[in-house]
Amino acid sequence: MSALIETRGLTRRFGAKTVLDGVDLSIAQGESLCVIGQSGTGKSVLLKCILGLVPPDAGEVLWQGAPLAPRREAFLARFGMLFQGAALFDSLNVWQNVAFRLRQRMPARAAREIAVEKLARVGLPPETAELMPAELSGGMAKRVGLARAIADDPQVIFFDEPTTGLDPIRARAIDALIRGIVTETGATAITITHDMASVRAIGDRVALLAGGRIAWSGPVARMDDAPELAGFLGRPVAQKP
């Protein structure tokens, strides 16, 4: 698999604090990568650097083998995001939220039709389309956020703490939806999470961000053997015979 997104020596300081200290990360086309790390280690800053919302002090981000920065608009058009807390627009109803980007290039009726299709994909019935965000439960809002993230058939989807604030049953349901959608669409997924059950359900590969660098990266199937991840898994690392 060739790299779809690559960060090379990504470095970012805030004042005297070096948050990212040369992050090298490669995400293959169609891969589902989970980025884990303790609170405050720079996961969000890494995401923002990839998106171009925070300029790095050094290093670069490549997309399809060439610098992303000059092609940021094209990249953003192929990218979807599920925000932490769903981040729906309060003044728009559900289908208008889902179809927000589609509305820029198609009439309302066509956009609504796609929105209803995407709502069905995340397990929400057509009646949901006319509800306002204030009428939704946390789990429903997350599903609407997910429908919005996939509305425009993105090549890359970012999931920012997708299960935060959900009870375990709803969290596992969101994980299953994410895994299903990623597999079915072939999208490349980058998930930031603290939830190791989510990592197991969603990820092909996991990368640990610590000390401003990728301290460990490997297949999810191998994470139980990595001493670097012991603290996250909440138990001793399996002893090799």
Ligand X SMILES: Nc1ncnc2c1ncn2[C@@H]1O[C@H](COP(=O)(O)OP(=O)(O)OP(=O)(O)O)[C@@H](O)[C@H]1O
- Residue 190 binds ligand X, judged by CB under 6 A: no
CA 109 to chain CA mean position, Å: 29
- Closest separation between CB of residue 203 and ligand X, Å? 17
- Closest separation between CB of residue 37 and ligand X, Å? 5
- CB under 6 A: which stretch of 32-40, 74-82, 94-102, 219-227 binds ligand X? 32-40
**For tokens 């490669």, what's the residue?**
26
Among 7, 26, 41, 217, binds ligand X (CB under 6 A): 41
**For tokens 């990249």, what's the residue?**
75
- Closest separation between CB of residue 118 and ligand X, Å? 27
- Residue 231 binds ligand X, judged by CB under 6 A: no
- Closest separation between CB of residue 33 and ligand X, Å? 15
Among 2, 39, 91, 239, binds ligand X (CB under 6 A): 39
- Residue 43 binds ligand X, judged by CB under 6 A: yes
Site string for ligand X, 127-166 (x = CB under 6 A): ----------------------------------------
- CB under 6 A: which stretch of 35-43, 133-141, 163-171, 196-204 binds ligand X? 35-43
CB-based contacts of 174, cutoff 8 Å, min separation 6: 139, 142, 143, 146, 162, 163, 166
Nearest CA among 29, 32, 65, 69 for reference residue 49:
69
174/77 Cα distance (integer angstroms): 24
Tokens representing 100 are: 């927000």
Among 5, 23, 25, 45, binds ligand X (CB under 6 A): 45
- Residue 44 binds ligand X, judged by CB under 6 A: yes
Query: Sign of the C-alpha dihedral, residues 3, 19, 195, 89?
Result: negative
Q: For residues 44 and 64, which CB has a smaller minimum distance to ligand X in the complex?
A: 44
Q: For residues 234 and 236, which CB has a smaller minimum distance to ligand X in the complex?
A: 234
- Closest separation between CB of residue 14 and ligand X, Å? 3
- Residue 42 binds ligand X, judged by CB under 6 A: yes
Tell me the three-class secondary structure of 39-107, residue by residue.
Answer: CCCCHHHHHHHHHCCCCCCEEEEEECCEECHHHHHHHHHCEEEECCCCCCCCCCCHHHHHCCCHHHCCC
Nearest CA among 195, 215, 194, 216 for reference residue 205:
216
The residues of the shown chain that bind ligand X, judged by CB under 6 A, are 14, 19, 37, 39-45
